[in-house]
Amino acid sequence: MSGTLYIVATPIGNLEDMTFRAVRILKEADLIAAEDTRHSRRLLAHFGIATRLTSYYDHNQTLKGERILAALQEGKQVALISDAGTPCISDPGYQLVRDALAQGISVIPIPGACAAITALSAAGLPTNSFTFAGFPPSKEGKRRSFLASLAHAHGTVVLYEAPHRLAATLADITTVLNERQVVVARELTKLYEECLHGTASAVREQVQDGRERGEVVILIAPADEDTQPHEGPSAEQQLRDSLAKGHTVKEAAALVAAATGLPRRELYAQALLLRDHA
């Protein structure tokens, strides 16, 4: 008889947010799969948990996933944890859950802290509908394209971001989505917890002081008539119009990139195709 895979949420900062059930499951498990075993050992030591640890992260999840599935098939009880918060939410794990389910292995969530939901609950933005989009791309062009794809998302948009890219991402939100109201939540549940409210450009001015640390949650208010990006010609039509006016492929791509925030390289390739099939 196969074992059970437990998806165990852990605190995102304050250790008092660990649930009684999570402690019990981690103590009773035969194996804990952790994103960073060094980080997790401190958490487990605090709660007196001596269960054997193994690493499970982005770069070893294929190999370790096979070993964890084998242990589950042998009847072992395995708990999956991430560095903080709920596993599988912008963290490694969904492949393991998918494969366990495919093999008929029971998967049981042990709920607890999640940075996205924690920030959303205290942001003062609409919560009846929201879109969680994870981490934006690190490159400016792809990040702007990513944000443009969220322009018409229903409800509040929730993002995660690394602290060193926070100011740049807020600047791109202003460029692509206009002056939306945003909330930036950082150091959630920790000593220096902070939630900044205002337009994207106003909040950007507040985060240029070098105090950013840890993972950041950005919440973007839904668009209204004043901030909704105006509908206009598609990028393809803008390229066609630019080429028809006599602009070179390079010039057309640069013009449309400036107007839309889309990556110039992708627009250049599209313009080449349009020119060659004109």
- Which stretch, 52-66, 75-89, 139-153, 164-178, has highest mean pLDDT? 75-89
In a domain, 197, yes or no: yes
Distance CA(99)–CA(105), nearest Å, equals 9
Number of domains in the chain: 3
Shared domain check, 216 and 127? yes
Shared domain check, 81 and 26? yes
In this prediction, residue 30 carries a pLDDT of 98
The pTM of the full predicted model, rounded to 2 decimals, is 0.79
Shared domain check, 67 and 38? yes
What is the tens place of the pLDDT at every residue in 252-270? 888 888 777 777 888 888 8
Q: What percent of the chain has pLDDT over 70?
A: 95
In this prediction, residue 225 carries a pLDDT of 45
CATH at 73: 3.40.1010.10
Q: Both tokens of residue 71?
A: 């242990």
Shared domain check, 173 and 213? yes
Average pLDDT over the chain reads 90
In this prediction, residue 255 carries a pLDDT of 83
Shared domain check, 215 and 125? yes
SS3 of 265, please? helix
> pLDDT class for 211, splitting at 50, 70, 90?
low
Distance CA(258)–CA(264), nearest Å, equals 8
In this prediction, residue 145 carries a pLDDT of 87
Q: Both tokens of residue 87?
A: 């596993």
What is the tens place of the pLDDT at every residue in 133-182? 999 999 988 898 899 889 888 899 999 999 999 999 999 999 889 889 99
In a domain, 225, yes or no: no
Shared domain check, 90 and 24? yes
In a domain, 212, yes or no: yes
Greater confidence (266 vs 51) lies with 51
- Residue 129 φ/ψ, nearest 5 degrees: -150, 130
Shared domain check, 28 and 103? yes
Q: Locate tokens 């060659």: which residue? A: 276
Give me the amino acid identity at 236. Answer: E
Shared domain check, 59 and 23? yes
Q: What percent of the chain has pLDDT over 90?
A: 65
pLDDT score of 44 more than 80: yes
CATH at 177: 3.30.950.10
- Which of 61, 78, 113 delimits the end of a domain? 113
What is the tens place of the pLDDT at every residue in 180-202? 999 999 999 999 899 999 999 99
Longest dimension (CA), the chain: 72
In a domain, 184, yes or no: yes
Yes or no: say if 40 and 81 are a contact pair by the CB < 8 Å rule: yes
Shared domain check, 96 and 145? no
- Residue 152 φ/ψ, nearest 5 degrees: -110, 15
Shared domain check, 16 and 85? yes
* Alpha helix segments (H runs only) across the chain: 20-28, 37-46, 61-73, 94-102, 115-122, 140-149, 166-177, 200-206, 235-244, 249-260, 264-276
Residues 6+ apart with CB under 8 A from 222: 125, 126, 153, 154, 155, 156
In this prediction, residue 226 carries a pLDDT of 47
In a domain, 265, yes or no: yes
What is the tens place of the pLDDT at every residue in 212-231? 667 899 999 998 744 555 45
Provide mean pLDDT across the span 81-91.
94
pLDDT score of 64 more than 80: yes
pLDDT score of 209 more than 70: no
Q: Which domain holds residue 266?
A: 235-276
Shared domain check, 158 and 144? yes
In this prediction, residue 268 carries a pLDDT of 87
Shared domain check, 189 and 143? yes
Provide mean pLDDT across the span 60-78.
94
In a domain, 226, yes or no: no
Residues 6+ apart with CB under 8 A from 228: 151, 152, 178
Provide mean pLDDT across the span 89-98.
92
CA atoms within 13 A on the CB side of 244: 7
